[in-house]
Amino acid sequence: MKIYNKYIAAIALSLVLTGCRAPMATVIKDEVKENLPQNFNQEEQQDANTNSGTTPWRQFFTDPNLVSLIETALKNNQELLITLQQIEMAKSSVLAKKGKLSPTVSAGIGAGVKKAGRYTSEGAGDATTEIEPGREMPDPLGNFEGGLMANWEIDIWKKLRTEKESAVAHYLSTVEGKNFVLSSLVEEVADNYYELLALDNQLDIIQQYIKLQERALEISKIQKEAAAATELAVKKFEAELAKSKASEYTIRQDITEKENEINALLGRYPQPIVRAKESFMSTMPQTVYTGIPSQLLANRPDIKQAELELKAAKLDVQAARKEFYPSLEISATLGLEAFKPSYLVKMPESVAYKLVGELAGPLINKSAIKANFQTADARQIQSLYEYDKTILHAYLDVANLMSKVKNIDQYYQMKSQETKALDQSIDIANQLFRNSRADYLEVLLNQRDALDAKMELIEAKQQQLSTVVDIYKSLGGGWK
């Protein structure tokens, strides 16, 4: 009989193990990371020892007004505050996964009453049972209990440890996500600050142009009275003056909106933005050193976040695969139980305990477990693609911005030359117009061209400064 029972147990165990056969996860290979180029520009060699992405933002930005704005944004920005709460939620998830590794112990008390039918096995047994000689079982039968209960899943396949490691990786990815939000916030504040300074300077230019148009209008009126100009010239100058004044109001509105956009980043209601517009055109962009592409993997928070999410996804696949294996659970209770409260203190008669160990594994209808595994496996592949996309975009960002830094510098130089030439042509045209040697159209065209060139020169300066900020962020700067 004992040998027969052993055979039954062996057959049952083999069925459990056979039914718990787990599928294999997809083997993924990160070719984008492995094929990362050695340099951003194949024609130039970069120095790995100089990388502006490692420079703290307080050292990178020298404008005290901009530094003050960034400090305020880092304290009050709502998106950053939301990200900090996501970190707290991820931290709680780690604690929850860690708690599953330890036994769950609870205490409880209970009371109840039960009456079994007389013509049942339980009722007939109670009717013929004496608690003590001469004392029958009470009917109905009360039940009072209290004690400790413990449940513990033994992590024999390290499934729970794998889930905890995945939660830790996800938590670390939220920390890197916070760093990326910091970097993006610093970039956004700086870009908007330079755009605001550019609008201030454009407003000054348009106001200067309005004064120039007013003088030209006065001259045209004087010439008309002297029969040296026509009413058409006067009307043209009046129209140009009205157009310039309309542009002034458009720029003023843009300034208001840009100030409020910065205030929104700083998490506050509208108020004036402290700034010094006078030194904008003379501000020299920071020199940026790119280092080598492999440093992006360590410097850029979004790449590190994607890498940690990929790690978490791989661990989730392992945990989902282990769901096919049998689980071992141990449950135990220890306490006091009696049908009458006064009997609870009678020892050891009222002592009750139970210890149960259960090894169970899925045999049939495993569709839910298979679906969970397939979802985790697909998410792992998706996370790899996200990681590869982040690396590729990071490399392209730096490569494009490196080219833009060079080209925008050349563009700025050409626009400076154009502006100087047109300023000189305005003086010449005005002199000729006063002497009736040039008509009003030549004056207007020269003034318009000069205005457009100065506006474009200011935009070029803003792009110079913003491009340096953008490449600083693309190299992983701004969060330290």
SS3 130: strand
Q: In 155-300, which residue ranges form alpha helices assigned H by DSSP?
A: 159-225, 231-265, 296-299
What domains does the chain contain, in order, with CATH numbers? Answer: 1-475 (1.20.1600.10)
Q: Give residue 460's pLDDT.
A: 96
Q: Containing H/E element for 309?
A: helix 301-321
Identify whether 285 is preceded by a cis peptide bond (ω within 30 of 0). Answer: no
Q: Which has the closest alpha carbon to 321: 123, 163, 96, 110?
A: 163
Give 10-residue mean pLDDT values along the chain (480 residues): 48 48 80 87 72 94 96 95 92 89 88 80 73 74 84 88 93 95 96 97 94 84 78 84 94 97 96 95 91 93 96 94 88 86 80 85 79 93 95 95 94 93 80 67 78 94 96 93
Q: How many CB atoms lie within 10 A of CB 46?
A: 18
Distance CA 424, CA 112 (A): 103
Q: What is the dihedral of CA 435, 438, 441, 445, to 10 degrees?
A: -100
Token duo for residue 218: 């006065």
